[in-house]
Amino acid sequence: LFLSFVPIFIAAQDTIQQDTMFRKKTFIEDDPVVIMLDSLASLKIFEDSGFPKANQYQNWNTYEDNDVPGFPDSVYRERTARMNDQSPFEFVYNQEVKKFIELYAVRKRKLTARILGLSQIYFPLFEEQLDKYDMPLELKYLAVIESALNPTANSPAGAKGLWQFMYGTGKGYGLNRFDPYKATIAACEHLSDLYDIYGSWSLALAAYNSGAGNVNKAIRRSGGMKNFWAIQKYLPKETGSYVPAFIAASYVLTYASEHK
């Protein structure tokens, strides 16, 4: 009986080792999403804040204090489809999106909790301006990808603020990049301009990240396809991960209670 379990144990160990190698290869240290989440660790506003007690949140009574909820692909797919039905965005679920769901909900869950705290400050401002410009309210999640809602975020490339404007782009919209109110208005105007060009929010997000020039080049190289997933492999690596990260952040913040 003992000998019959040895191959199973070895196979399990091999699977765990392969999974660990996959995770190491999947998330490299200079991943822009990881960098932005790590930048929140230095925010003074939350440095002394502990986690709330389990009984303060709905659904938490079904978990032990140290539980980290996870769900099968079928549940993620069903929830994402539900979001898609209620949104002008193309919310899809695939393995790339799953990778970022695990980043936000598991690997960086403490920082995601801080983002949830910051969202109470910034999301009402975002939603007010998005509504004023008649734009999808889901665009508020874009600032999570850009800055992890860190109002003083600085990228290595020189982008600044909640919406990570470069100097030239920010100057074109006449803003102080660290001013949350003006930056939000500028982000609405810039995203609206990009949507007018492509007629697709996914492509508008890609252009927001890497510029219209790179998106236009990817469209040409794909043979004229105007679909993010069709041109993804022709985009810069960071931009190729941008929409999956956006979908994952939207999912995790929508289902934050279910993920404790």
Q: Summarize pLDDT for 21-43 with one digit per residue, the tens.
A: 444 455 555 676 777 667 665 56
* Average pLDDT over every residue of 127-144: 96
Assign residue 112 a region (left: φ > 0; alpha: ψ between -120 and 50; beta: otherwise).
alpha
Given this model, what pLDDT does residue 22 score? Answer: 45
More confident residue, 6 or 128: 128
For residue 223, with 0-12 CB atoms within 10 Å meaning exposed, 13-18 middle and 19 or more buried, which class applies? Answer: exposed
Rg (CA), the chain: 20
Average pLDDT, the chain: 83
pLDDT tier, 151 (very low <50, low <70, confident <90, very high otherwise): confident
Report the C-alpha gap between 175 and 65 in whole angstroms: 44
Q: Long-range pairs for 159-166 at CB < 8 Å and ≥24 separation?
A: 162/122, 163/187
Given this model, what pLDDT does residue 15 score? Answer: 47
In the predicted structure, residue 86 carries a pLDDT above the cut 60 = yes
> In 3D, which of 111, 112, 117, 126 has the Cα closest to residue 162?
126
The phi and psi torsions of 75 (rounded to 5 degrees) equal -70, -45
For 195-245, what is each residue's pLDDT tens digit? Answer: 999 999 999 999 999 999 999 999 999 999 999 999 999 999 999 999 999
Given this model, what pLDDT does residue 154 score? Answer: 86
The phi and psi torsions of 160 (rounded to 5 degrees) equal -135, 155
Place of tokens 């990570």: 164
Report the C-alpha gap between 201 and 139 in whole angstroms: 9
In the predicted structure, residue 194 carries a pLDDT above the cut 80 = yes
In the predicted structure, residue 3 carries a pLDDT above the cut 50 = no
For 45-69, what is each residue's pLDDT tens digit? Answer: 555 555 555 445 555 556 666 789 9
For residue 69, with 0-12 CB atoms within 10 Å meaning exposed, 13-18 middle and 19 or more buried, which class applies? Answer: middle
Question: Which residues belong to the active site?
Answer: 146
End-to-end CA gap in the chain? 40
More confident residue, 153 or 170: 153
- Measured on CA atoms in the order 229, 239, 36, 24, is the torsion positive or negative? positive
Report the C-alpha gap between 8 and 252 in whole angstroms: 34
Mean pLDDT is lowest, of 41-50, 149-158, 178-187, for: 41-50
Instruction: Report residue 174 CA to chain centroid gap.
Output: 27
For 117-131, what is each residue's pLDDT tens digit? Answer: 999 999 999 999 999
**pTM for this one?**
0.78
